[in-house]
């Protein structure tokens, strides 16, 4: 069992002068969920090498069992520091793909033709795809085989407008995940802010927020079982 994890290479939080990137918990919890299930996990990003960590996700308030484990794990840290370039990746080589969130993916992975083509290749091959928090936003330009938006008519979730408002970035992000999924014709669903919420629609798995990251990974493994 071989799982690809795709991380952002984007580190600028709009024009705020602040940094962004991937969210640590949304990487660490799925990484260990896959590893503990015996999967081989390969990491990739548009630029390759070390992806930028959202500094806010490194604050004490946002640490979990998985993030503490990561910080004590030199092997995992080395994996993260040496991500492969996304354009070197072939969907044929993997059984599933998972995209962690953080705000970074809204800028680079959403617009990446390489990422879009990769997700479409997984989808056409009937392989499970997972996205958590802001990562469902990377589906914005992904098409189904009939040329319609992949999410059209599909049950999905992702970071809510009220969660974005709570972190005071509504006017900073390039688009709101909830609004965009709805505009594409998705059957968007959500739970209360910050509660774990995962939706499985066929081979497409989405999670609402950081608390949902392990749940998305577990659902992907169940689809692979």
DSSP for 45-108, written as a single string: ESS-BSPPBPGGGGSGGG--HHHHHHHT-HHHHHHHHTBEEGGG--GGG-SEEEE--SSGGGTT
pTM equals: 0.97
pLDDT at res. 38: 97
Sorted by where each begins, the domain ranges of the chain are 2-224
Contact 133, 208 (CB under 8 A): yes
pLDDT at res. 132: 98
Q: For residue range 101-145, what is the model confidence (pLDDT) as tens digits?
A: 999 999 999 999 999 999 999 999 999 999 999 999 999 999 999
Q: Which CATH code for domain 2-224?
A: 3.40.50.880
Strands 96-99 and 84-85, sheet pairing: unpaired
| Phi–psi pair at 82, nearest 5 degrees | -125, 45
**Distance between CA 122 and CA 94 in Å, rounded?**
9
Q: Which residues of the chain have pLDDT under 50?
A: none
pLDDT at res. 173: 97
């Amino acid at each position: 069992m071989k799982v690809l994890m795709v991380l952002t290479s984007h580190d600028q939080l709009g024009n705020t002068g602040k940094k962004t990137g991937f969210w640590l918990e949304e990487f660490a919890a799925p990484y260990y969920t896959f590893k503990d299930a015996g999967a081989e996990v390969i990491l990739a990003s548009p630029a390759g090498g070390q992806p930028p960590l959202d500094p806010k996700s490194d604050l004490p308030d946002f640490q979990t069992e998985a993030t503490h484990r990561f910080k004590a794990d030199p092997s995992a840290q080395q994996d993260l520091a040496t991500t492969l370039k996304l354009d070197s990746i072939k969907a044929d080589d993997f059984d599933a793909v998972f995209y962690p969130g953080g705000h970074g993916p809204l800028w680079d992975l959403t617009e990446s033709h390489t990422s879009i083509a990769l997700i479409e290749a997984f989808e056409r091959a009937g392989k499970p795809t997972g996205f958590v928090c802001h990562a469902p936003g990377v589906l914005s330009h992904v098409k189904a085989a009939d040329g319609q938006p992949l999410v059209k008519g599909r049950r999905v979730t992702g970071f809510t407008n009220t969660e974005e408002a709570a972190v005071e970035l509504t006017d900073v992000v390039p688009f709101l995940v909830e609004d965009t999924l709805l505009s594409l014709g998705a059957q968007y669903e959500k739970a209360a802010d910050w509660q774990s919420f995962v939706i499985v629609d066929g081979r497409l798995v989405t999670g609402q927020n950081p608390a949902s990251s392990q749940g998305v990974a577990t659902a992907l493994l169940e689809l692979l079982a």
